[in-house]
Amino acid sequence: MIAFWILAPIMVLAALGILFVRKAVHAALLLAVVMISLAVLYASLDAPFLFAVQIIVYTGAILMLFLFVLMLVGVDASDSVVETIRGQRILAIGAGVLLGTGLVVGLGQISLGTAVGLDDANAPGNIQALADILFSRYVFAFETTSALLITAAVGAMVLAHRERLTPKARQPELAAQRVKDYAEKGTHIGPLPPPGVYARHNAVDTPALLPDGTAAPTSVSRVLIARGTIRSAPATADAIDEIEKQIGWAPHSGGSGAATPPATTDEEAPAAGDGA
């Protein structure tokens, strides 16, 4: 019972979190908390087999499948707050509160008496006893399950399969398309520019600078631009100024030999100037 009183509030909070978090990935992680707690509750209810199955099937397979699909669906997975049916959210919450209080109050009225306990039923071991029932009384349902699983596997393959309607574009076609784009729309025919390489920063999220000082949008990945995680090169230069102020050194005022602090070398001073 101690496990129950520790895990029950965690489970309810995590389940409520699924209702309120904005990102689907966070909802999946909260669902993992609920499922692992459920597995522990199964163990405390004398169901060691279901404890293992819950962890392997639910947290191992199903939640990983959820996370995998979230990865494929990607950034778009955030929830919209616009209601399409007016008052639907309020009505849904009202109905939920009614259902919840009805169930809890109703369950509070009944008295179940003391539990019989599974000591007798689990006498030959939980897995052996379960197998005994599964392969005698429930054998037809068990066999039907196999048909269900095969149908599900085939259905998933049919749904996920995409027939190729047009032939795959290969190197000659891609090259011809480039030249065609150049002739018709004036698109740059060569490769895309690489990201900016500066003295203090040369990661792929820093756009290269054009001759007029603006950032070249084609030099960084579209995905990074869509996420808004682009680092601007002048901002990096500002950070360098800040650092130099903190170490008490002003390279722009004097030459490289005018003030030589021990923290930096002479090569970095003109390179930092280039970045700005």
Task: Give phi and psi for 209, each to the nearest 5.
Answer: -100, 135
The one-letter amino acid code at 75 reads V
Site residues (CB under 8 A) for another protein, limited to 201-230: none
Among 2, 86, 87, 117, binds another protein (CB under 8 A): 117
C-beta of residue 275 within 8 angstroms of C-beta of residue 208: no
Range 38-77, binding another protein (CB under 8 A)? 38, 41-42, 45-47, 49-50, 53-54, 57-58, 61-62, 65-66, 69-70, 72-73, 76-77
Nearer to another protein, 47 or 233 (CB): 47
Closest CB to another protein among residues 162, 170: 162
Find where tokens 């290969």 sit: 170
Residue 104 contacts another protein per CB under 8 A: yes
Asked whether 34 and 11 are in contact (CB, 8 A), the reply is: yes
Please list every residue from 241 through 260 that binds another protein, using CB under 8 A: none
Which one of 3, 93, 189, 203 is in contact with another protein (CB under 8 A)?
93
| CB of 152 vs another protein, minimal distance in Å | 4
Tell me how far CA of residue 116 lies from CA of 113, 126, 165, in angstroms.
9, 16, 63
Helices (H), the chain: 2-20, 24-44, 48-53, 63-73, 88-109, 126-134, 139-160, 171-185, 222-227, 233-246, 268-275
From the CB of 109, what's the least distance to another protein, in Å? 11
Instruction: Return the residues of window 133-192 that contact another protein according to CB under 8 A.
Output: 133-134, 138, 141, 145, 148-149, 151-153, 155-156, 159-160, 162
User: Of 64, 45, 129, 61, which is closest to residue 37 (Cα–Cα)?
Assistant: 45
* Residue 173 C-beta: closest distance to another protein, Å: 23
Question: How far apart, in whole angstroms, are the C-alpha atoms of residue 230 and residue 241?
Answer: 20
Least spacing, CB of residue 54 vs another protein, in Å: 7
**Is residue 36 part of the contact set for another protein (CB under 8 A)?**
no
Residue 107 is a binding residue for another protein (CB under 8 A): yes
